Amino acid sequence: MRQKIVAGNWKMNKVFHEAEDLVGAIANAIDDREPDCEVVICTPSVFLEMTGDYSEESQIRTGAQNVSEHESGAYTGEISAAMLDSMAIDYCIVGHSERRKYFGEKDEVLYEKAERLIENEIIPIFCIGEQLEDREAENHFKVVEAQLVNSVFKFNKDEFSNIVIAYEPVWAIGTGKTATPAQAQEMHAFIRDLIAKKYDNETAEETSILYGGSCNAENAKELFSQKDVDGGLIGGASLKANDFTKIIYSF
């Protein structure tokens, strides 16, 4: 179902007491005034139990940052979708550019990860986006289309309807260089159009497409006001309760 979402991606930041302070501050801030969006925090896996407890008592939903493509077994260090499900985790990021770059995750394995999540009723936040050289060469639409075709477009319509897409131009992640609202809108409309062609208009209209890449308390409002931008996946600015809260109330 299409809905507005603000999701924080904490990446590999914070130790336990800092994580507790941060989630507590966000929960307090949003409990006073109901947000106009789903609020998700995607935390390192060691904090999921603690943040999951907040999900039970507050409006915060918890997301993981990674999942194994395997169901279970001898995969030391990995975390399965069934494990996440057993801890009441609602979302999981898949295909973040850092996973693609540093851990060599390719479209096929990302598809399998999303498949495990859907089987376990966890919503994948599936990240796609071009590199700077792709945009400079005006290949950005082709790159994004190929990422979709080689991964989530392998799902049937019912399966696909469980997925949230996050458009994250790689050149904007952690760089302070945000896509302009017009650039974000143009790509989001393109993605929605591809979904309509692959499935149908209804599926396209029902898909939440988030923007990610140096989205912050100052620029969120204008980005989120774009017709096809349904919210954001927020990295750096999700580590500060005040900034993240401002972003949540940017709709």
Task: Give the catalytic positions in this structure.
Answer: 96, 168
Residues near ligand PEP, by CB under 6 A? 9, 96, 168, 173-174, 212-215, 233-237
Q: How far is the CB of 35 from ligand PEP (least distance, A)?
A: 19
Distance of CA 76 to the CA centre of its chain: 26
Is residue 49 within 8 Å of residue 243, measured between CB atoms? no
Q: How far is the CB of 42 from ligand PEP (least distance, A)?
A: 9
The residue number with the shortest CB distance to ligand PEP is: 235
Residue of 191, 236, 190 whose CA lies nearest to 216: 236
Q: How far is the CB of 86 from ligand PEP (least distance, A)?
A: 26
Q: Which amino acid is at 248?
A: I
Choice between 51 and 80, CB closer to ligand PEP = 51
Ordered DSSP codes for 166-224? EE--GGGTTTS-PPPHHHHHHHHHHHHHHHHHHS-HHHHHH--EEEESS--TTTHHHHH
Q: How far is the CB of 96 from ligand PEP (least distance, A)?
A: 6
**CA gap 80, 101 in Å, rounded:** 22
At 125, is the secondary structure helix, strand, or coil? strand
Choice between 35 and 231, CB closer to ligand PEP = 231
Residue ranges of alpha helices (H) inside 95-138 are 97-102, 107-119, 132-136
At 163, is the secondary structure helix, strand, or coil? coil
Choice between 204 and 210, CB closer to ligand PEP = 210
Choice between 204 and 215, CB closer to ligand PEP = 215
